[in-house]
Structure 1
Amino acid sequence: MTLPRTPSFRLDGRRALVTGASRGIGLGCAVALAEAGAHVVLAARGTDALEEAVAEMRAEGWSAEAQALDVTDLEAQAAFFAAQDPFDCLVNSAGLARHSAALDTDPGDFDAVMSVNLRAAYFLATNAARDMPEGGSIVQISSQMGHVGGLDRAVYCASKHGVEGMTKAMAQEFGPRGIRVNSLCPTFIRTPLTEPTFADPEKRAWIMSKIKLPRVAEVEDIMGAVVFLCSPASAMVTGTGLLVDGGWTSG
Structure 2
Amino acid sequence: MNNKEFRFQGLDAKTELKLALMLIFPSLMIMFGILYGSHILFPKISFLMPLLFGATTTVGISIIILKQLTNLVREKEWIINIDDKFLNLKFRGINHHIQLSDIKIIKNLGNIGLRYLTIKTKNNVIKIRVGNTGLAPFSKQKDIDELDAFVQYLKPYIDKHFNEKVLKNIVQPNIIPNFGVYVVKEEKIKYSIINRMKPWQVVVFILGILVLIMILFVNIMEYIFFK
**TM-score where L is the length of structure 2:** 0.26
**TM-score where L is the length of structure 1:** 0.24
Higher share in strand: 2
Rg larger in 1 or in 2?
2
